[in-house]
Chains A and B, each alone.
Chain A
Amino acid sequence: MSSFFDKFENIDRRWIYLLSWIFVLFPLIFPLGLPVPINKESQAWFKAINDIPNGSVIVFSPMFGTSGMPELFPMTLATMHQLWSKNVKIIVVSFWAEGPLVFQQLLNQMNPTAAPYNKVYGVDWIDLGYIPGSEPAMRAFGEDMKKAVAKDYKENKNLSEFPIMQNINKASDVSLVISIETGTPGLTEWLRQWQEPFRTPIIVGCIGVSAPGMAPFLQSGQLGALLPGLTSSAEYELLLNRKGLAIAGVDAVSMSHVLVVILVVLGNVGYFVNRGKKK
């Protein structure tokens, strides 16, 4: 009996790795259809975007690279779907080098010019690409967009050729910043360079690891809404009635988390039994 509990405390790490593979692959191959309750973060995100008045100017900033894509790409797709379904002007700009490349992958899956969006590039939305320099770049863009960026990313034309940029040049012309981010530059830089000087509202979608650090800004009201991680993305997809990769993966999230709980509990059971034996 004691050696049975010894095993609980000392499972070889490769068995743990194998169990992780099984607990993730099984629900992906055989979807379990586990229920996904909708919670307040995803409802607040949905409402924040839904409540944007018609004609508003939105800065959408994909501030993540390929490493963050599994967790952030689903929420990026869903958010752009909701934005392009509205009558708002969208400026896509990134202060993260891979941002434009990741957004290009989004455009491979969603065509804003086609139905149901029917958006015109340069009139309804524009992609300004990447601006190097991190926080000083965010400051420069907020002070004078046309000086910070000379040409758009998609067609490589001067910004003056696009109707969308006629009356937009500073952060004060922007109604909302939507930042999908994994780290630095991120929310604190947006707060320092856009919200504090220009009072621009900000909402952030982030990876789970960043979520705890956002809590003080959410409580103080500096952050309008927060969408943290894949689970919230799945809830958001359900709210939009647009199932995507997040919903497809949420069963695997559940099962992998069940595995972690089981392993930690087993480890502690083994520890306490062995500790009792030693005493």
Chain B
Amino acid sequence: MELMALLGVYSAVFFTLAIYTILYRENPWYRFAESVFLGLAVGYQVALDMKYVRDQWAGQWSSSSIMMVGYVLAILISLLWYFRFTKQYFYLYRWPLAIIVGTGIGAALRTVIFAQFTTQIIAQAKLNLWVPTDLMKTFNNIMLFIMVPCVVLYFWFTGSYRDSGPMKIIDKVARYTMMAGFGAGFGYTILTRYSMFIGRAQYLLGITPNPPEAVPAFIIFALIMLATMIGYDLMQRNKKPST
């Protein structure tokens, strides 16, 4: 393996273990790795955004003088973003922000009523409440038929009927449904988070296609970090005056 790649593997293992040291306690290894992460995470996107801007100039924006004016106008409006850092002209920052927010809201608004509302209502209405060949499906559809409106009504906060008897039953059904739903969410959250840990563990153990050079790095850095943290704690404990 070439030197820069080997250095890279050792760096990757170092950074991985440095972050995991937080499980023991807050320490300088973790703070260093966190600082590096912050710098890289903020810096990497500049490349991709600027590449897009540069490539766009090569496309339609240089095809005619009107389009060129439009491109220059985009840059001028974009400069207003950076008045965010001034107190006197902060209000200029709101102009490009307003355009972006309006565009985003408009893009969603055009089709949200169909994509997320009517289609879901139609799917709910199409539930077949009697499937003679499949009693389980019948039961499930009836459950859905009851549960979905209960949960929707649970979040309806206005109106005097909120305290009525039927609403209390609806609230109870809705709460039980949501609790089961949150339990499902918990189960999948465990899967995701452990999958991420397993991915890093596979790297530390050099499991193919990860580089096997990670294994000695893992052992070396793990020993160094554990020794420094535990050693420091022992030293601090020995320094404390006895009562």
Judging by beta carbons under 8 Å apart, are A197 and B111 in contact?
yes
Q: Residue on B with the closest CB to A233?
A: B195
Which 3 pairs show the lowest CB-CB distances between chains A and B?
A70-B199, A150-B59, A220-B123
Judging by beta carbons under 8 Å apart, are A70 and B107 in contact?
no
Residues of A within 8 A of B208 (CB): 248
Residues of A within 8 A of B170 (CB): none
Residue B209 at the chain A interface, CB threshold 8 Å: yes
Given A17-B23, A248-B207, answer yes or no on A70-B196 (Cβ-Cβ < 8 Å).
Answer: yes
Residues of A within 8 A of B11 (CB): none
Judging by beta carbons under 8 Å apart, are A132 and B49 in contact?
yes
Judging by beta carbons under 8 Å apart, are A216 and B120 in contact?
yes
Judging by beta carbons under 8 Å apart, are A188 and B202 in contact?
no
Judging by beta carbons under 8 Å apart, are A216 and B201 in contact?
no
| Chain B min CB distance to A202 (Å) | 11
Residue B69 at the chain A interface, CB threshold 8 Å: no
Judging by beta carbons under 8 Å apart, are B209 and A245 in contact?
yes
Residue A98 at the chain B interface, CB threshold 8 Å: yes
Residue A256 at the chain B interface, CB threshold 8 Å: yes
User: A17-58: contact bitstring with B at CB < 8 Å (1 yes, 0 no)?
Assistant: 100100011001100000000000000000000000000000
Residue B85 at the chain A interface, CB threshold 8 Å: no
Residue B64 at the chain A interface, CB threshold 8 Å: no
How many residues of chain B get a CB closer than 8 Å to chain A's CBs?
49
A-B contact pairs, 21 of them (CB 8 A): A14-B23, A71-B195, A97-B48, A136-B107, A139-B107, A147-B60, A150-B57, A151-B58, A151-B59, A195-B115, A207-B192, A208-B190, A211-B188, A220-B123, A229-B191, A229-B192, A245-B202, A245-B207, A249-B198, A253-B195, A256-B190
Judging by beta carbons under 8 Å apart, are B115 and A222 in contact?
yes
Given A14-B24, A229-B192, answer yes or no on A150-B207 (Cβ-Cβ < 8 Å).
Answer: no
Q: Residue on B with the closest CB to A189?
A: B108
| Chain B min CB distance to A224 (Å) | 14
Residue A241 at the chain B interface, CB threshold 8 Å: no
Q: Residue on B with the closest CB to A100?
A: B48
Question: Which residues in A have some Cβ–Cβ distance to B below 8 Å?
Answer: 14, 17, 20, 24-25, 28-29, 67, 69-71, 73, 97-98, 100-101, 109, 129-132, 134-136, 139, 146-147, 149-151, 156, 158, 188-189, 191-193, 195-197, 207-209, 211-212, 216, 219-222, 228-231, 245, 248-249, 252-253, 256-257, 260
User: B28-63: contact bitstring with A at CB < 8 Å (1 yes, 0 no)?
Assistant: 000000000000000011001101100111111000
Of A29, A101, A146, A192, most B-chain CB atoms within 10 Å: A192
Given A130-B48, A212-B184, answer yes or no on A158-B195 (Cβ-Cβ < 8 Å).
Answer: no
Judging by beta carbons under 8 Å apart, are A71 and B199 in contact?
yes
Of B55, B107, B196, B209, most A-chain CB atoms within 10 Å: B107
Judging by beta carbons under 8 Å apart, are A134 and B194 in contact?
no
| Chain A min CB distance to B52 (Å) | 6
| Chain A min CB distance to B5 (Å) | 11
Residue B104 at the chain A interface, CB threshold 8 Å: yes
How far apart are the CA atoms of A147 and B63 in the complex, in Å?
11
How far apart are the CA atoms of A70 and B186 in the complex, in Å?
19
Residue B181 at the chain A interface, CB threshold 8 Å: yes
Judging by beta carbons under 8 Å apart, are B201 and A97 in contact?
no
Q: Is the interface of A mostly helix, strand, loop or mixed?
A: helix
Judging by beta carbons under 8 Å apart, are B55 and A70 in contact?
no
Residue B137 at the chain A interface, CB threshold 8 Å: no
| Chain B min CB distance to A109 (Å) | 6
How far apart are the CA atoms of A252 and B49 in the complex, in Å?
38
Residue B212 at the chain A interface, CB threshold 8 Å: no
| Chain B min CB distance to A107 (Å) | 13
Judging by beta carbons under 8 Å apart, are A228 and B114 in contact?
no
How far apart are the CA atoms of A14 and B226 in the complex, in Å?
14
CB under 8 Å from chain A, chain B span 79-100:
none
Judging by beta carbons under 8 Å apart, are B191 and A135 in contact?
no
Judging by beta carbons under 8 Å apart, are B111 and A192 in contact?
yes
Q: Residue on B with the closest CB to A25?
A: B201
Residues of B within 8 A of A208 (CB): 188-192, 195
Partner of A150, one of B55, B123, B195, B201: B55
Judging by beta carbons under 8 Å apart, are A256 and B198 in contact?
yes
Judging by beta carbons under 8 Å apart, are A67 and B196 in contact?
yes
Judging by beta carbons under 8 Å apart, are A150 and B56 in contact?
yes
Residues of B within 8 A of A151 (CB): 55, 58-59
